[in-house]
C-alpha cells in the first residue's frame, strides 16, 4: 500500500513538472530518471521491491577522453523502508539509438527494516542500457551493486535490477 502511494506521488510530480516545462519552454537540459525494480534480488531472505528517482543536469556535462561525463544525484527507497541517497558521476556512450551508461556514486544508506549492509556509507556501481524514444524520453534496464568496500564489520553487498524511464525537461 505504501509503495502505491509513492508511485502516485512520483507520477504526479513528473506530470506536473512536464506541464510546467511546456509552459515555460525549458531547453531540455535536465533529465529525470524514475525507476523501479528489485533490491538485492540475489538474497532470498532480504529481497524487496524498490523505487527511485535520479537527476542529471546536462549543462554540467563534460566531454573527456573517457566520454561524456556528468554528475548525478538520486534517492531510492525499498518496500522494507531501507533508503539510499547518493551523488556521483556517470559516463554516457551512444550506440545508435541505444545508450550505455556506467556510473559510480557514494551515498548514505539507512537500513530501515531492510538488509543490514554493514555501514552507513555505501558505494553504488551501476551499468545501464537504454533506448531513445520520441519526445526526449528513454526506456532502460539497469543493474547496480551496493558495497561499503569493507568499511564496516561486514560487507554483504546488495545486487539490484531496475526498469528505468527517462524524461528530459
DSSP count for the chain of H helices, then E strands = 1, 9
pLDDT at 96 over 90: yes
pLDDT tens digits along 16-42: 444 444 443 345 577 899 999 999 999
Neighbours of 26 (CB within 10 A): 13
Is 33 in contact with 164 (CB distance < 8 Å)? yes
pTM score over 0.75: yes
- For position 23, what pLDDT does the model report? 41
User: What percentage of the chain carries pLDDT values higher than 70?
Assistant: 83
pLDDT at 5 over 60: no
Comparing CA positions, the residue from 63, 65, 142, 131 lying closest to residue 98 is 131
pLDDT at 91 over 90: yes
> Mapped to the 3 state alphabet, what secondary structure does 60-90 carry?
HCEEECCEEEEEEEEEEEECCCCEEEEEEEE
Q: Residue 9 burial by CB count (10 A; 0-12/13-18/19+): exposed, middle or buried?
A: exposed
pLDDT tens digits along 109-123: 999 999 999 999 999
Structural domains of the chain ordered from first start: 2-168 (2.40.160.20)
Amino acid at each position: 500500500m505504501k509503495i502505491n502511494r509513492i508511485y502516485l506521488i512520483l507520477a504526479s510530480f513528473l506530470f506536473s513538472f512536464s506541464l510546467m516545462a511546456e509552459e515555460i519552454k525549458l531547453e531540455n537540459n535536465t533529465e529525470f530518471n524514475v525507476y523501479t525494480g528489485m533490491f538485492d534480488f540475489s538474497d532470498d531472505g532480504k529481497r524487496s521491491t524498490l523505487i527511485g528517482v535520479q537527476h542529471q543536469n546536462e549543462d554540467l556535462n563534460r566531454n573527456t577522453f573517457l566520454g561524456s561525463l556528468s554528475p548525478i544525484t538520486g534517492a531510492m527507497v525499498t518496500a522494507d523502508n531501507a533508503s539510499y541517497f547518493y551523488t556521483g558521476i556517470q559516463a554516457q556512450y551512444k550506440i545508435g539509438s541505444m545508450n550505455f551508461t556506467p556510473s559510480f556514486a557514494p551515498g548514505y544508506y539507512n537500513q530501515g527494516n531492510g538488509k543490514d549492509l554493514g555501514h552507513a556509507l555505501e558505494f553504488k556501481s551501476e551499468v545501464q542500457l537504454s533506448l531513445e524514444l520520441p519526445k526526449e524520453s528513454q526506456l532502460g534496464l539497469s543493474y547496480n551493486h551496493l558495497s561499503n568496500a569493507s568499511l564496516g564489520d561486514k560487507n554483504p553487498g546488495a545486487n539490484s535490477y531496475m526498469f528505468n524511464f527517462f524524461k528530459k525537461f
